[in-house]
A and B are shown apart, each in its own frame.
Chain A
Amino acid sequence: MSSAAHSSHKTSPELLLQLAGITKKFGPLIANDAIDLKVHKGEIVALLGENGAGKTTLMNILFGHYVADEGTVTVTNRDGNLEQLEPGAPQAALDAGIGMVHQHFTLAENLSGLDNIVLGTEPIFRLRRDRTAARAKLADLMSGSGLNVDLDQPVHKLTVGEKQRVEILKALYRDARLLVLDEPTAVLTPQEADSLFVILRQLAATGLSVIIIAHKLAEVLAVSHRIAVLRGGKKVGEMQTSDADHRSIAELMVGREVPVSRRTERVPGAPVLRLSDVTIDRGDARRSLHGVNLTACEGEILGIAGVSGNGQAALAQLLAGLDKPDSGIVEIFEAIVTKFDAHKFAQNGIARIPEDRHHDGMVGSMSVAENIAIEDVRSKDYQKFGFLDFAAIRKRAEQAIKDYDVRCPGPGAPARLLSGGNIQKLILARVLEKSPKLILANQPSRGLDVGAQSEVHRRLLEARQNGAAVILISEDLDELLTISDQIVVIHAGHVSKAIPTDAIDRSELGLMMAGQTKTYTQQAQTSNTIRQGETP
């Protein structure tokens, strides 16, 4: 597809946007260092870089959320003249035809899609609203671009993909000439992502310019015309997508070679976790499970694939001991669990890596050392005469910081000062140090850069090698296919049969995540029978 699309793209000389010498400092941190970037009409530019490379900062400057310390943003205005954009004024960016779709959507959930789109486009002091013209224009936009969505629904009733469409329509409704998408595929299924790319290509063909911020290579290679790579706040490379090669860009982004973790063959042992017909009904699809059967064995990584909000939260809560099933049986270490208690679960060797590491994984105002010891404060090792033994806590923290390479000012530093990757290392240090038998890893590498991601994978594979069962909940297919031994798909609270990773077809998996097929049932059943034979 990509070659055909490339040929259809005419190398249009008309310049639309020019960023020149943009520099932005946050205290001692240089988020953007003299960055230049040009975007032409009808061009899709991918802005690639690790977390913290400065992509989002740059786009926030473009959109007027931040003011650059140095440098200028110039836009060719609708009359064809170059015009410098007023810094720090989102309204100026909107007027110039720049529309931004943030990674975290800026939609008012209680309002309808239509309300969200027309918000701020009408004169504010008027006695009535007239929506006829708006509806007509949106109907045109939708039929022209394929961005179909029910605009009269309150936004909280829409799926993530639909919300994103509302965001894009919001920009197009304001006659955007440049659309900036921040990590647009992070929340989409592979199918949704593909259809988004088709839509973007169509829009580009009609003259819309697009900047896609991304850290996943494969995607931008498929959709973009040109790639710019940022690292450490500097632009380190720029090329036509047709000339780009996967490996060299990856190294350009990271600045060094990235070790790739691969799992090795291993025969799974006795079952560690078994769910039989477990149902949790909370009336809300995100928090419910329906008749779930699941087995995880020693020395294997069981991947739970699914689009977020399909019951993963319920499963994670259950396995962390924070919720109990309405019906069904949970067996852990071949004993039926009767008391669901988070503390007890942790004591019994269940390691939990929570989804929201900032919120659930640590206490920001407490020190790194305290955060590492927090699950074990009742243990005798960290007590002296009934009081906390800070020397022992500090000693363990120092060891953990060294072993897990947690970059921090010291064990006494407040944990909130750490970056996302280092917080994750801190959590790994806390839970893996105790050689757990069962590890619940919920989105363990989401939002991490490639380096930290490969570290998380290495640690999980190491735990698997040491005989732990790992439940890996993830939306990232690459991650699931790289390190899990078997994969189940979770959709609307239902969990499919386990499929050996080697027997999986990627697009089929995407369809299952979207709840569209049960092709694997047959095949999976066979594999399950074999497995049951192995582990009676």
Chain B
Amino acid sequence: MEIIDILLAASFWEAAIRIATPLIFGVLGALVCERAGVLNLGIEGIFTAGAMAGWMAVWLGAGLWGGVLVAALAGGFFGLIHAILTVPLGLSQHVSGIGVTLLATSLSYFTYRTALPDVSSPPRIIPFQPLDIPILSDLPFIGQALFSQTAMTMLALVLVFVTGWVLYRTPLGLAIRAVGDNPSSVEAQGLSVYGLRIGAVVVGSAMMALGGAFLTMSAFDAFFFGMINGRGWVCIALTVFASWRPGKALIGALLFGAFDAFQVRLQTEVGAFFPSQVFLMMPYILSIIALIVVARKADYPKALLVPWFKGQR
């Protein structure tokens, strides 16, 4: 009975969408990189960098949207490092990605500690507030669940649509999908393989950083060590679950958010009946199942992880 009550409560769906927001940013970013053929395991560090940079910019007086911009730039910067190492230099995408994660995480902590050497509790900012859209926010159920989210959640939802449109409806998206499938096809048509791949990784990384920024600027109001807590890795798994499609990415992120919100509520309702780890495992189990299913389908980026060098075929 409690379970039904939980699922029918608008507050549950509000929490699910809120928890899903950083994942939506992250999985879209990962998807854009991978569609162009580059796995970006720098995601966990880029989340941290985005969270730190966005929050600190606001704390220094940049304004909330200024903070979002700074976070995106920070993400783009680390994406550029990863792109240069893996695209023209053709280094292992795994090694480079993990390196970027270590670098970006440590650099964020270092910057934080250098700027704030002696604080025990981090200074707080005024984060994005829940929207109050006339009429829409007053609708029953959906008004609370969807239209009372913050502006960044709306941005994430719009980004799903934009990413899908660009990938499937524009010449640029066609070129990105082609370069992730067979770089030689792109070169033979006179487009730049390196340009497309580097561009996709930079933009994708900037999107990932927004996921981090959401945490410090919307979900919470300060930066903590370890606050990313594996969300980046979840996004990598969700990308496979989504079979590299933006719409499915949204569903995957919402599913994860729902599991998380459900798990928290179930614990408060019925006590620690289930260990929370069981629920934390669910998205991974789903991703493994999805991997088994989609790995047999042909529609994954065929050139993912494969470096390409000019003049070599």
Q: Which residues of A contact B (CB under 8 A)?
A: 60, 65-66, 90-91, 94-95, 100, 102, 104, 106-111, 115-116, 118-129, 154, 156, 170
Contact = CB atoms under 8 A, between A and B. Distances in A.
Given A108-B181, A109-B298, A128-B169, A115 B174 contact: yes
Contacts of B298: 109-110, 154, 156
Contact of B185 (A65, A108, A123, A127): A108
Given A119-B175, A126-B171, A129-B169, 4 more contacts: A108-B182, A111-B174, A111-B178, A119-B186
Contacts of A124: 171-172, 175, 191
Contacts of A120: 175, 186, 189-191
B187 A106 contact: yes
Contacts, number: 92
B215 to A, nearest CB: 32
Contacts of A127: 165, 169-170
B119 interface: no
B178 A116 contact: yes
B193 to A, nearest CB: 11
Contacts of A90: 187-188, 190
A94 B189 contact: yes
A91 B190 contact: yes
Interface residues of B, number: 26
B254 to A, nearest CB: 26
Contact of A129 (B171, B185, B310): B171
A91 B189 CA distance: 7
5 contacts: A90-B190, A94-B189, A109-B182, A110-B298, A156-B298
Contacts of B265: none
Contacts of A95: 190
A95 B189 CA distance: 10
B37 to A, nearest CB: 11
Contacts of A66: 311
Q: In terms of DSSP, what is the predominant structure of the interface of chain A?
A: loop
Contact of B170 (A116, A119, A121, A126): A126
A90 B184 CA distance: 12
Interface in B137-192: 165, 169-172, 174-175, 177-178, 181-182, 184-191
Interface string B186-223: 11111100000000000000000000000000000000
Interface of B: 165, 169-172, 174-175, 177-178, 181-182, 184-191, 298-299, 301-302, 310-311, 313
Among A102, A110, A154, max chain B CB count under 10 A is at: A110
B182 A123 contact: no
Given A108-B178, A128-B169, A121 B189 contact: yes
Contacts of B299: 110
A2 B178 CA distance: 40
A108 to B, nearest CB: 4
A107 B186 CA distance: 8
Contacts of B189: 94, 119-121, 170
A108 B177 contact: yes
Contacts of B169: 127-129
A112 to B, nearest CB: 10
A122 B171 CA distance: 7
Contacts of B188: 90, 100, 102, 106, 170
B169 to A, nearest CB: 6
Contacts of B301: 110
Contacts of A115: 174, 178
Contacts of A154: 298
A106 B185 contact: yes
A66 B174 CA distance: 26
Nearest to A116: B185
Nearest to A110: B181
Contacts of B310: 65
Contacts of B172: 124-126
Contact of A119 (B165, B185, B302, B313): B185
Contact of B181 (A102, A111, A126): A111
Contacts of B186: 108, 119-120
Nearest to B196: A124
Contacts of B175: 119-120, 124
Contacts of B185: 106-108, 116, 119
B313 A102 contact: yes
A459 to B, nearest CB: 30
Contacts of A125: 170-172
By Cβ-Cβ distance, the 10 closest A-B pairs, closest first, are A120-B189, A108-B181, A91-B190, A106-B188, A106-B184, A122-B171, A108-B178, A108-B185, A108-B182, A106-B185
Contacts of B184: 102, 104, 106
B181 A109 contact: yes
Contacts of B311: 60, 65-66
A123 B171 contact: yes
A63 to B, nearest CB: 8
A115 B189 CA distance: 12
A102 B181 CA distance: 17
